[in-house]
Amino acid sequence: MTVDALRPAGRRWTGQRELLFRLIQENREHLDVDSIYRLAQREYPRLSISTVYRTLLLLKELNLVRELHLEEEHHHYEARDSGGHFHLICKGCGQVIEFSSPLAEELKYHVVQDKDFQVDDVQIDVTGLCRECRAGERPG
């Protein structure tokens, strides 16, 4: 999938790109640039931070990764998957909980029908407080 996506764009699938994409795919957390960089340097110590930024830009352009904001100043990244999921973001502790909902497909359908709009992607981030923060069980 990734090599085939790069060919029409005239780009090569390098070892560094493969490493960064694999790290994002394999990691269940929502990684920021610094986390991706630190993980990648364990396997490829000569990797530069600018290579990470350029590769993330390319992976976003190719729709292989999604950039998430998650109520923070910096971005996080996750691999795009076939099954859409969304995020509950606790404003107390910062925990991010993934969830799925058939309502997103219904929303997509209505937007297409009612607004004659082609939907490429749906991102839903719901902010609030998790159970532990509401109960005062977790320092926030």
pLDDT score recorded for residue 128: 92
pTM of the model: 0.69
Beta carbons within 10 angstroms of residue 9's beta carbon: 10
Tokens 């926030």 belong to residue: 140
> pLDDT tier at 38 (50, 70, 90 boundaries)?
very high
> pLDDT tier at 1 (50, 70, 90 boundaries)?
very low
Kindly report the CATH class assigned to 83-140: alpha beta
Beta carbons within 10 angstroms of residue 3's beta carbon: 11
Strands 125-128 and 96-99, by their bridges, are unpaired
Query: Cβ distance 89 to 36 under 8 Å?
Result: no
CA 136/CA 119 separation, integer angstroms = 40
- Give me the residue spans of the domains in the chain: 1-81, 83-140
pLDDT of 32 > 50? The answer is yes
List pLDDT tens digits, range 63-97. Answer: 888 888 776 777 889 888 745 678 888 988 888 88
Same fold yes or no, 1-81 and 83-140:
no
pLDDT score recorded for residue 3: 59
Looking at the DSSP bridge assignments, the partners of residue 86 are: 99
Task: Give the CATH architecture of domain 1-81.
Answer: Orthogonal Bundle (1.10)
List pLDDT tens digits, range 54-63. Answer: 999 999 888 8
